[in-house]
Amino acid sequence: MITKEKVIREFESHIQYANGRGVFDLQDIIESFADTFWEKFDVTYDDLCEFLESLRVCNATKKVMTEGYCFDDGEIYFADEKDALKHARSLGYKSLSQAYKDDVYYYSEWESTDLFD
């Protein structure tokens, strides 16, 4: 049986593989993963893409995250506070609380679609 965790692990590996080949656009990575794996997971291509698009990927670690820091209206995500702080500092802020007060980021939890539940 295919589980959500197995799909996520394979997707994380695919992200690393794609990045190693110079592919960094997440939508391109999602589509290449779906092209390769949709039949293996016994789902439609569109359903697999929808599932993958519901996930958030940490920009620092390239790991799928279920909660964390969201910068630039969803363009940049960090799972760990230290990575979020480093990014906030690169934007000129001394602390996350200062960046939060300026609406530079928010902290949230995300749920993926339940394709594999």
Of 82, 26, 42, 39, which Cα lies nearest the Cα of 11?
26
The reported pLDDT for the residue numbered 66 is 87
The enclosing H or E element of 117 equals none
Kindly list the strands in the beta sheet with 76-78, ordered across the sheet, starting from the edge strand earlier in the chain.
Answer: 76-78, 67-71, 105-109
- Mean pLDDT (the chain) is 92
Q: Is the pLDDT of residue 117 over 70?
A: no
31 by DSSP, 3-state: which?
helix
What would you measure as the largest C-alpha separation in the chain, in angstroms? 48
Predicted local confidence at residue 111, as pLDDT: 80
pLDDT, tens digit, for every residue of 16-70?
999 999 999 999 999 999 999 999 988 999 999 999 998 999 999 999 998 999 9
Number of H helices, E strands in the chain: 5, 5
Contact between 55 and 109 under an 8 Å Cβ cutoff? The reply is no
Q: What is the mean pLDDT of residues 67-91?
A: 96
Query: Quick one: average pLDDT of 3-13?
Result: 92
For 12-44, b where at least 16 C-beta lie within 10 A, e where not — what string?
bebbeebeeeeeeebeebbeebbeebbeebebe
Model-wide pTM > 0.85: no
Confidence bin at 113 (pLDDT 50/70/90): confident
